[in-house]
């Protein structure tokens, strides 16, 4: 097939305009490095939006995928498939929960959680107990249910009407939590560490009160671990750190080792909510993606990547604190394993562009937050490479500001 030139013009011509792609055509990757078509190597501190937990080119992952691909690429959920069974058993063991539903993307896992929560709540006999709540500044996805929970103007404007029966509680605001939940609440969706919202962690008192209110009003707690899960924060699930005790847990992003895979894991309480034909998907739990998922989790465990996330995350935090002491541009650093947010005093995209010029890939979220989600395999030397680049960028910016002030 004829290869089209990869340019902005062909991009404009071919695609809907919903992405702001970087002007890099990526070809392959090695470890924490992403390599472009022209051979430029980029230190990837964002791992394909938090997906490539093992970095690039992990042989075990590639082998698991190719072995399964030569056996069976797609079977469908009309059949039983070994990789699905093994991965489900692994997730049940890791979470201590009871049942798994596989989907293809984070937003689909959230949709399944909304459906299960509403059906479960309706079984109480109160058909008005259908309210699903989320926390301000959250992100749960872009399909109608998950977008309705997200409800930020940027994601929602023009797409209304939203799913009825959704609402939002102010993040970490216990008084608002108490005011919003009631016996009409079916579920409260949380991210223990908000990702798109700017790397903010839920507070322990908020979680404790949420659990008390769950006892009082009998609703479900749904932990969206799509960005924070699979070891990113130094534990397999970030909710264990605050003992959130969720009834439903959503996983995606790194779960399939880069292949589309999501899982919804549920407690005994909701184990029998779905019945035959109630919910489903053609591709969800694809055997190649599940084989990749097993290889991915085994590699995380064998290579002690959660320890690495803690160790290198702490190192990055220490080095960033040193930069913060020297540069007033840095306002705050929030680090949970290798999920790191740096609040800066201007639009974070300024730093994203500057870092790109130094062949380092970082990301901007929540306007003025630099977000780092490097592969969990990152070494201290690679982390230092990123710190040096940030130091240079901040120093150059400071020098420019001083020169401008002197000229005025």
Peptide bond into 161 cis (omega under 30): yes
Q: Which of residues 108-167 bind ligand PLP (CB under 6 A)?
A: 110, 139-141
Q: CA 72 to CA 81: how far, in whole Å?
A: 9
Q: How far is the CB of 123 from ligand PLP (least distance, A)?
A: 26
Q: CA 353 to CA 22: how far, in whole Å?
A: 9
> Is 51 a binder of ligand PLP (CB under 6 A)?
no
Q: Which of residues 187-206 bind ligand PLP (CB under 6 A)?
A: 191, 195-196
DSSP one-letter string for 52-114: -TT-B--HHHHHHHHHHHHH-S---TTS--HHHHHHHHHHHHHH---EEEEESSHHHHHHHHH
Question: What is the three-class DSSP state of 101?
Answer: strand
| Residue found under tokens 């705050």 | 332
Q: Which of residues 4-43 bind ligand PLP (CB under 6 A)?
A: none
Q: How far is the CB of 319 from ligand PLP (least distance, A)?
A: 26
Q: Is the Cβ of residue 100 or residue 394 nearer to ligand PLP in the bound state?
A: 100
Q: Is the Cβ of residue 196 or residue 382 nearer to ligand PLP in the bound state?
A: 196
> Is 227 a binder of ligand PLP (CB under 6 A)?
yes
Q: Tell me the angle at which helices 59-71 and 287-302 cross, rounded to the nearest 10 degrees.
A: 150
Among 52, 95, 105, 148, binds ligand PLP (CB under 6 A): 105
> Is 229 a binder of ligand PLP (CB under 6 A)?
no
Among 29, 48, 83, 106, binds ligand PLP (CB under 6 A): 106
Q: Give the Cβ contact number of residue 12 at 10 Å.
A: 9
The interface region with ligand PLP, picked from 92-100, 118-126, 219-227, 376-384 by CB under 6 A, is 219-227
The interface region with ligand PLP, picked from 170-178, 220-228, 357-365, 395-403 by CB under 6 A, is 220-228
Helices (H), 123-165: 144-150, 153-156
Size of residue set near ligand PLP by CB under 6 A: 14
Is residue 373 within 8 Å of residue 32, measured between CB atoms? no
The site map against ligand PLP for 250-289 (x = CB under 6 A) is --x-------------------------------------
Among 87, 226, 251, 389, binds ligand PLP (CB under 6 A): 226
Q: How far is the CB of 197 from ligand PLP (least distance, A)?
A: 9
* Nearest 10 degrees: Cα torsion 12, 18, 24, 25: -70
| Residue found under tokens 């080792």 | 257
Residues in the chain: 408
Q: How far is the CB of 262 from ligand PLP (least distance, A)?
A: 7
| Residue found under tokens 């992100």 | 139
The interface region with ligand PLP, picked from 65-73, 100-108, 204-212, 342-350 by CB under 6 A, is 100-108
Q: Is the Cβ of residue 339 or residue 393 nearer to ligand PLP in the bound state?
A: 339
Q: Which of residues 352-371 bind ligand PLP (CB under 6 A)?
A: none
Q: Is the Cβ of residue 342 or residue 390 nearer to ligand PLP in the bound state?
A: 342
Please name the residues in contact with 353: beta carbons below 8 A apart, sequence gap of 6 or more. Answer: none
Is residue 193 within 8 Å of residue 238, measured between CB atoms? yes
Q: CA 24 to CA 36: how far, in whole Å?
A: 6
H-helix or E-strand spanning residue 166: strand 166-169
Residue with the CB atom nearest ligand PLP in the bound state: 106
Q: Is the Cβ of residue 232 or residue 354 nearer to ligand PLP in the bound state?
A: 232
Give the interface with ligand PLP as residue ranges (CB under 6 A): 105-107, 110, 139-141, 191, 195-196, 224, 226-227, 252
């Amino acid at each position: 097939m004829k290869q089209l030139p990869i340019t902005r013009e062909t991009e404009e011509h071919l695609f809907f305009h919903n992405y702001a792609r970087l002007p890099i055509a990526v070809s392959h990757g090695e470890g924490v490095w992403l390599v472009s078509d022209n051979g430029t190597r980029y230190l990837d501190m964002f791992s394909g939006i938090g997906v490539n937990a093992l970095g690039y080119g992990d042989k075990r992952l590639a082998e698991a995928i190719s072995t399964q691909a030569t056996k069976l690429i797609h079977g469908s959920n009309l059949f039983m498939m070994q990789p699905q069974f093994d991965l489900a058993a692994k997730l049940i063991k890791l979470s201590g929960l009871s049942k798994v539903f596989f989907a293809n993307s984070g937003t689909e896992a959230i949709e399944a959680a909304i459906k299960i929560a509403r059906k479960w709540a309706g079984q109480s006999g109160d058909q008005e107990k259908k309210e699903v709540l989320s926390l301000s500044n959250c992100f749960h996805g872009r399909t109608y249910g998950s977008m309705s929970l997200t409800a930020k103007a940027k994601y929602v404007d023009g797409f209304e009407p939203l799913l009825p029966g959704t609402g939002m509680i102010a993040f970490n605001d216990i008084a608002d939590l108490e005011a919003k939940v009631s016996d009409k609440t079916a579920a409260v969706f949380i991210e223990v560490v908000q990702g798109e919202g700017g790397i903010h962690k839920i507070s322990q008192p908020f979680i404790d009160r949420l659990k008390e209110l769950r006892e009082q009003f009998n609703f479900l707690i749904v932990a969206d671990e799509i960005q924070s899960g699979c070891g990113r924060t130094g534990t397999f699930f970030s909710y264990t750190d605050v003992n959130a005790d969720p009834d439903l847990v959503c996983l995606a992003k790194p779960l399939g080792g880069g292949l589309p895979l999501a899982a919804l894991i549920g407690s005994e309480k909701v184990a029998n909510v779905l019945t035959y034909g109630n919910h489903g998907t053609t591709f969800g739990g694809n055997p190649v993606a599940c084989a990749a998922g097993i290889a991915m989790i085994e590699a995380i465990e064998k290579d002690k990547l959660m320890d690495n996330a803690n160790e290198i995350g702490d190192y990055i935090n220490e080095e960033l604190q040193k930069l913060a002491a020297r540069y007033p541009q840095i306002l705050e650093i929030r680090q949970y394993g290798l999920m790191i947010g740096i609040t800066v005093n201007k639009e974070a995209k300024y730093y994203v562009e500057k870092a790109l010029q130094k062949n380092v890939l970082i990301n901007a979220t929540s306007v003025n937050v630099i977000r780092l989600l490097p592969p969990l395999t990152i070494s201290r030397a690679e982390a230092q490479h990123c710190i040096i680049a940030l130091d240079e960028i901040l120093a150059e910016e400071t020098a420019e500001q001083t020169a401008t002030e002197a000229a005025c």
